[in-house]
Structure 1
Amino acid sequence: MLQQTSGIVIHSIKYSESSLILKIYTEAFGLQSYMINGVRSGNKKAKNKIALYQPLALLDLVVYHKPNKSQIFRIQEAKPLYPYQSIPFEMKKTGIAFFLTELLYKTLREESPQAPLFRFLKDSLVAFDEATVHYEYFHLFFLLKLPRFLGFGVENLQELIEELSPFRKLLCPEDILQELVQAFEVCIHAQWPAPLVLSVEARRTLLDYTLDLYALHIPNWSEVKSLQVLRAMMG
């Protein structure tokens, strides 16, 4: 049955000589797998087609879908829902997007739709693309707001420390701790983009603590390989 939905490309893997299998988080069906053929043949048409399915691409889709079936479906039609204007072309934004792509691939597991989660993802990515200031902290806002939609959100730094304390010692100098308290308040409760200034040590500590929260709650969590790239780029 043909259905229309919006979707966000999360992951792709090569299949056969010219095909891809995509993981797309859709508004109507949650996380789904789709196969597209003839996108790796090397001709101009194939290159244009594969460009449409880059990680985090926001798409308007017409897909084949059968309710209550876990299988690989087909895409009949796809077009950009929002063509990115800066993420693919600005190095820092590209690095952050690369990191978030891996994080979402590890995090999103639900096949059932969650409209508030989809809106959060779409609206956040559009705002990130449009931002001209403060975007170097976007991943921290995103990482701290996303757990609210996944069932393990925390409201302040103290809650985070209490959750993690049985599993690791959370020690940092008093000045860094004060930075973290203020940053947490901004990231959780302010609308992004919002001004946020952090020292390199505070930024890295906040990112580490937040990823530990994900590791605690996401089954089969593994190392985020793109983290080293993000740190090298952002400091």
Structure 2
Amino acid sequence: MLVESLAIVLHKIKYDDKNLIVHVYSRDFGRISYIAAKRKKQGSVHASAFEALSLIRYQAEHKPNRELQRMKECQHLYAFHTLFLDPVKNSISLFLSEVLYRVLQEAETNESLFAYLSESIKILDLVEDGKANFHLAFLMQLCRYLGITPNMEDAQAGWYFDMQAGCFVPFPPNHKFWMSYEEAGPFIHLQNIAFDNLADYRFSRIQRRKLLDTLLDYYRLHLNNFPEIKSLDIMQDLFEG
């Protein structure tokens, strides 16, 4: 059956000399993997469409019970202006594509999530002021779509943030995954970050690294089999306060 859809590229690996395996998050099929030709020719796909977080429109042949479907045609859905040219944005795109590759495991469709991801990627391409905070806002907002949003409503001095429960409690939990109110301060502050106020958040390099580590630890506690992110070190070394 020939199908058409829109997708976000998450990851690609070499299959053989002529083909790639491309993992995407599709509007109509959720997380799905395809075999796609590398070379540009009439009626085929082009490898340049498969850079991290590329937005594509494609046709594919779907057959029942086949693990890898075949992508027949592909084109860019959105022409990036700076994403692959700006070293900060390019590093963020590689990092976020790896995170999404790890967290988007289900094949079920979620149109609201697809819309959020698509619009976020376009914003990353265009944003300048506060772009070093983009990944923090993205990950914080992504929590809502993953059903793991931390509850900060009860935050008050002297209480403790239980990272396993995702909320503040009056006494230290009987496990090691918690922060004092003072330690959780920047994390509480991060609840209000959005793509239109990135420049209002003035974090030092150390603060930004701590916040990202906290967010990834939180993901790891609430999502099954969430691994270490290999591109994290590149991200951390790039940003200065």
Is TM (by shorter chain) over 0.5?
Answer: yes
Distance 1:59 1:70, change over 3 A: same
Distance 1:177 1:110, change over 3 A: closer
Alignment of 1:27-106 (within 5 A): 27-39=27-39, 49-66=46-63, 69=65, 71-106=67-102
SS class of match (1:156)? coil
Task: Find the aligned partners of 2:196 and 2:61 in 1 and give their Cα distance.
Answer: 36
Q: How large is the Cα RMSD of the aligned pairs? A: 2.5
Is 1:92–1:136's contact at 8 Å kept on the other side of the alignment?
yes
Distance 1:70 1:163, change over 3 A: farther
Matched, 1:226 2:231: yes
More helix by share: 1
Distance 1:50 1:222, change over 3 A: same
* 1:143 alignment partner, one of 139, 155, 167: 139
TM-score for the superposition, normalised by structure 2: 0.84
Is 1:10–1:56's contact at 8 Å kept on the other side of the alignment?
yes
Distance 1:163 1:52, change over 3 A: same
Q: What's the offset of the Cα at 1:181?
A: 2.7
Is 2:161–2:180's contact at 8 Å kept on the other side of the alignment?
no
Tell me which residue corresponds to 2:120.
124
Matched, 1:181 2:188: yes
Tell me which residue corresponds to 1:216.
221
| Residue ranges of structure 2 left out of the alignment (5+ in a row) | 165-172
SS class of match (1:100)? helix
Paired residues, number:
224
Name which of structure 1's ranges 12-21 and 82-91 shifts more when overlaid on structure 2. 12-21
Is 1:141–1:192's contact at 8 Å kept on the other side of the alignment?
no
Q: What's the offset of the Cα at 1:200?
A: 2.5
SS class of match (2:85)? coil
Hey, which bits of structure 1, 4+ residues long, moved more than 2 A? 155-161, 163-172, 176-182, 190-195, 199-202
* 2:106 alignment partner, one of 89, 105, 110: 110
Task: Find the aligned partners of 1:58 and 1:225 in 2 and give their Cα distance.
Answer: 23
Is 1:179–1:198's contact at 8 Å kept on the other side of the alignment?
no
